[in-house]
Chains A and B, each alone.
Chain A
Amino acid sequence: MPTTTSAPVENATSATSTGASPRRQTWRDRLSRWDLKLSPYLYIAPFFLVFAAIGLYPMLYTGYLSFFSWPAYGSEVGPWVGWDNYAHVLGDSVFRKAFWNTIGIFLLSSVPQIIVATILAALLDTRLRGRTLWRMSILLPFVVAPAASAMIFGSIFADNTGLINQMLDGFGLSKVPWHADRFASWTAIATMVNWRWTGYNALIILAAMQAIPRDLYEAADIDGASKVKQFFHVTLPSIRPTMIFVIVTSTIGGLQIFTEPRIFDTNLRFQGGSDFQYTTLTMYVFNTAQTTTNPYPRAAAAAWVLFLIIVGIALVNFLVTRAVQRRSLR
């Protein structure tokens, strides 16, 4: 590691002119100066080089592609069409359905997920016997392979032979059309998402809770605050930054939801329900790429619209976060 500070380097530069082999010294000095100036960039370069290759390049190419046509079953790009693909995507009622589906599934998953995760974390933050065991077990759903959870939920939410509908049938109640009703399908998918992510979020929140100084609680106890009051007035304010982190990550994840609706899909064409009841924006991008009318350009246009939507919501998130942080500083 270059341990020299900038001052000795400058000294060295001025001193070398009187040295025995001035040229060689200068060369060395130049090297060490470059080392100092360039090294930090070289250290972070690998990340940015890899990002440029597998992140930036595909993104820019996607943007480029979205202005062209693509011949049916062709394997090469067709002529330039301007904004046509964007016009198609924005005018497509399936895209609008996908947008609302995504928002709906996102709200049905993220909101209960964060509430339940916070409560779970608060419960795990008490003096339980075998704490580590309990804490680790709530992470179990997270390590189950998505394909395996697809099997589990496939048999729970099957329309005719599913566990829930069999039970409802047994009680003489009418079956829930899981794949036909829009709200029912959102609920089913949100359940799958929540099952997977609640424990994960709970652990992150738990870590934040454990960092809260215990004397705050002792003081609250002495003041006679109940456990519930302590939760709302000590715990919640203290973990605010972590909550914001969890909310932001689950927002981004929620807007890109793909695996769960895809494995929930029983439709023959995997279009997210016969009436697109539960197709999401990422599914829309994926499925558009498999049609025969301008497949890749239209999918590229949809991907860029999705990107802008996420950037927009992330910006809102950022502004809200800043406002909340300012308030909490006061």
Chain B
Amino acid sequence: MSKISKSWRRGLAAGAVATLVAGLVGACGGSDDTGEQAKLGKDDTLTITTFSEFGYGDLIDKWNADPERPFKVKQTVVAEWDTWKQSLTTGLQSGEGLTDIVGIEGDMMPALVAEGASEQFVDLTDKELDSRWMESKYLEGQTADGKQIGYPTDAGPEAFCYRADLFEKAGLPSDREAVKELFADWDTYFATGDKFKAKMPKTAWYDSSGAIAQAMLNQVEFPFQTKDQKVDVDNPELRKVYDTVAQHAATQSTKVEQWGEDWTANFTNDGFATIPCPGWMFANIKDSAPDVKGWDIVDAFPGGGGNWGGSYLAVPAQSEHQEEAKEFANYLTTADSQVAASKVAGNFPANLEAQTVLAEENATDTYFNDAPTSQILANRADAVPAGVPFKGDKYSDILGLFQQAIRRVDEGTDPEKSWATFLEGVEGMS
């Protein structure tokens, strides 16, 4: 008995040791940066993650249905950018776990083209594509030494969406042309808000403090950082945006958090009357309030113009199918693809040819009371001040902290105290 059980026991111990060693070796072996490249066959899958609504669903379905396709594509859609930003950051910093193509919000690009981060991405440079996109957008996706990290998908020239029916009830003009003057500048906009609230105490003037803060912020030349990337948030221009939004939070804002359930509910229950409206917001409104009649779009924006959002497609260096990923990112940003995506999501494409096609079609949108959407967005794009705001490498992170500062004021924190917390948070980033 003893012989057998002894050898069995020894075997067990050896097994345990082997397991431990294998575990340790395995734990150490996982930090390979650049994925080993593997060719994709017809039934292999390329993966892509986008957020919010890029409008690629139909395009990808069509691609997969085509028997001639070189490979299959699977899209993951994350509802909110902030959530996806966290996963993306973790994926980059751990060197694994990302899809072959990732959608990236434009605000984060300055951080990713910076030294250190840019090595995490594949160079997508393609001479033939140099004049495909709006130059400013194209250059934002490029490092200082010309490595192209992202292909631009769309831009976010802002108009204002408004509830014409609620405007009428409040005794305001509601016609698309007539309301233009109400959106001439921010003072007029807030003054109109006071008038509206006097008549309609139960409805807020705008959807959220965060959206208005974002809109005003996009007209500040150096909101967070100076030209040489030095962090400077305690500047009078940023403080003015903060004070204005904080001042009107109590009277004109819904005080709910953007993208939350309460925010979505307000689209249908007459929660608010106006919302800053880049092209990509159209889909949000339609999805949130499919049955509400009265939404309209005005071809004006307080203080001239502004750009909110606009995204990129990038290929992380950890992808094992970089060639195919590059090819598919190229396909998704062609004029044809972008026109199709724009029709689904309302996005204003960064692709120049797609812009021309859409302008020629001069599409209108029945949901928005037959508003000439493509014309409005083209006009709004022309009104966007060039190079404003300046986005430094910490823009996206500081913006997140700034939005939380506004959020605290919405929840009743003293504005001065909230501002101090914001400054401390920015301080902690260095």
Choice from B23, B31, B116, B400 contacting A269 with Cβ under 8 Å: B400
> What DSSP secondary structure best describes chain A's contact surface?
loop
| Per-residue contact bits, chain A 74-110, to B (CB 8 Å; 1 contact, 0 not) | 1110000000000010001110000000000000000
Residues of B within 8 A of A179 (CB): 411
Residues of A within 8 A of B111 (CB): 72-73, 292
Residues of A43-88 at the interface with B, using a CB-CB cut-off of 8 Å, are 45-46, 49-50, 52-54, 57, 70-76, 88
A210 in the interface (beta carbon within 8 A): no
| Per-residue contact bits, chain B 260-271, to A (CB 8 Å; 1 contact, 0 not) | 111001000000
**Bound-state Cα–Cα, A31 to B27, Å:** 35
Residues of A within 8 A of B397 (CB): 291-292
The answer to whether B31 and A75 have CB atoms under 8 Å apart is yes
Residues of B within 8 A of A268 (CB): 80, 82, 257-260, 403
Q: Which of A112-120, A121-129, A155-163, A254-262 contacts B (4 or more CB under 8 A)?
A: A155-163
Residues of A within 8 A of B9 (CB): 39, 42
Q: Which of B67-75, B89-97, B340-348, B374-382 contacts A (4 or more CB under 8 A)?
A: B89-97
Residues of B68-127 at the interface with A, using a CB-CB cut-off of 8 Å, are 80, 82-83, 86, 89-90, 92-95, 111-112, 114, 116-117, 120
**Bound-state Cα–Cα, A73 to B92, Å:** 6
Category for how many chain B residues contact A: 35 or more
The answer to whether B112 and A73 have CB atoms under 8 Å apart is yes
Residues of B253-283 at the interface with A, using a CB-CB cut-off of 8 Å, are 256-262, 265
The answer to whether B262 and A74 have CB atoms under 8 Å apart is no
Q: Which of A13-21, A270-278, A306-314 contacts B (4 or more CB under 8 A)?
A: A270-278
Q: Contacts A274-B404, A296-B93: A93 and B424 contacting too (C-beta < 8 A)?
A: yes
A146 in the interface (beta carbon within 8 A): no
Residues of B within 8 A of A45 (CB): 13, 16
CB distance from B211 to the nearest CB of A (A): 13
The answer to whether B400 and A73 have CB atoms under 8 Å apart is no
Interface size on A, residues (CB 8 A): 48
A180 in the interface (beta carbon within 8 A): yes
Choice from A42, A49, A50, A274 contacting B407 with Cβ under 8 Å: A274
The answer to whether B418 and A275 have CB atoms under 8 Å apart is yes
CB distance from A73 to the nearest CB of B (A): 4
The answer to whether B16 and A74 have CB atoms under 8 Å apart is no
Residues of A within 8 A of B410 (CB): 274
CB distance from B11 to the nearest CB of A (A): 11
A199 in the interface (beta carbon within 8 A): no
Q: Contacts A31-B6, A70-B93, A292-B397: A270 and B16 contacting too (C-beta < 8 A)?
A: no
The answer to whether B257 and A266 have CB atoms under 8 Å apart is yes
Residues of A within 8 A of B131 (CB): none
**Bound-state Cα–Cα, A92 to B408, Å:** 18
**Bound-state Cα–Cα, A1 to B265, Å:** 69
The answer to whether B418 and A35 have CB atoms under 8 Å apart is no
Residues of B within 8 A of A75 (CB): 31, 33, 92-95, 120
| Interchain residue pairs with CB less than 8 A apart (10) | A72-B117, A73-B117, A158-B261, A161-B261, A268-B80, A269-B400, A275-B408, A291-B397, A292-B93, A292-B111
Which 6 residue pairs across A and B have the least CB separation, nearest first? A75-B95, A73-B117, A180-B411, A274-B407, A53-B23, A49-B20
